[in-house]
Structure 1
């Protein structure tokens, strides 16, 4: 059997949203940057894509087919949540202030032996988290 190649790092994440007119500005405000791409595709969806400084892409898809009217649930098979990496707990504290300023509800910082997380949800209820390793 040939040797396994090195597993690549995460390049992009795309989540399906119900209404890009609601979600795209919400994410633009959260991220603090305009999308790098906003277009219809030949595959039957419109996507809006944001780029992070490390080259990772985060996309929002609105499909023309059915099914997108169902609310998100991390209890169904599929996505549980999207975690964004922070360098420290102090950075999480800055995000608490930013989320509060944007009027975004969150669960506060939760500390565990493996790190600290700050959970919140987007307009479709998709679970998001800022996460920092333990100090």
Structure 2
């Protein structure tokens, strides 16, 4: 047995229509379908919802639920806002920079470009407060993936025992931190 792929990833939204229009306009995603019910099919709980689905490219689907009878959305106060996010890959740095300019022109605050070594990213929030990331591969991605693959189990074991960041993959951000030290 093996998982084929993710069917969809679902998050909550404040307003289904606003969310669909925002993702269409800002990230160029197509609106795929909507499902609405008064009863939750799996639990039969009376909880009306609108469930919308967006095409995130190459068979990936991003979905949202609007739940008008539930208390307002919130975040886990014990988890920093940078942790939970949805990351989307774009073709290359030129496309990443084009998206950054497009988002900023839409009035969206964008953090980055952040150089993660293996990839480069920008960060921003959707109208529901979900943190989003767009990233593009670094030209040395294939080489770095091999290096990371070689140390993944050792890193996991060291972390498991010490709960301190192992230094096996420090090369990913060493250039960025060295440049910050020069400033």
**Alignment TM class, shorter chain as reference:** 0.7 to 0.9
Structure 2 Cα separation of the partners of residues 95 and 117 of structure 1:
11
User: Which structure 2 residue ranges, 5 or more long, are not aligned?
Assistant: 41-47, 140-183
User: With CA pairs under 8 Å and 6+ residues apart, which has the higher RCO, 1 or 2?
Assistant: 1
1:57 is aligned to 2:61: yes
1:16 is aligned to 2:29: no
Q: CA deviation at 1:33?
A: 4.6
Structure 1 Cα separation of the partners of residues 119 and 2 of structure 2:
26
The change in CA–CA distance for 1:32 and 1:115 in structure 2 (over 3 A counts) is closer
Structure 2 Cα separation of the partners of residues 116 and 129 of structure 1:
10
Which of residues 113, 116, 133 is equivalent to 2:117? 113
Structure 1 Cα separation of the partners of residues 36 and 130 of structure 2:
22
1:131 is aligned to 2:122: no
Bigger proportion of residues as strand: 1
Contact 1:110 1:118 in 2 (8 A): yes
Structure 1 Cα separation of the partners of residues 29 and 119 of structure 2:
27
User: Which structure 1 residue ranges, 5 or more long, are not aligned?
Assistant: none
CA RMSD for the aligned pairs?
Answer: 2.3
The 5 Å alignment of 1:1-135 reads 5-41=1-37, 42-43=39-40, 44-67=48-71, 69-72=72-75, 75=79, 80-135=84-139
Structure 2 Cα separation of the partners of residues 124 and 52 of structure 1:
17
Q: CA deviation at 1:101?
A: 2.4
Name the count of aligned residue pairs.
Answer: 128
**Which protein is bigger by CA-based radius of gyration?**
2
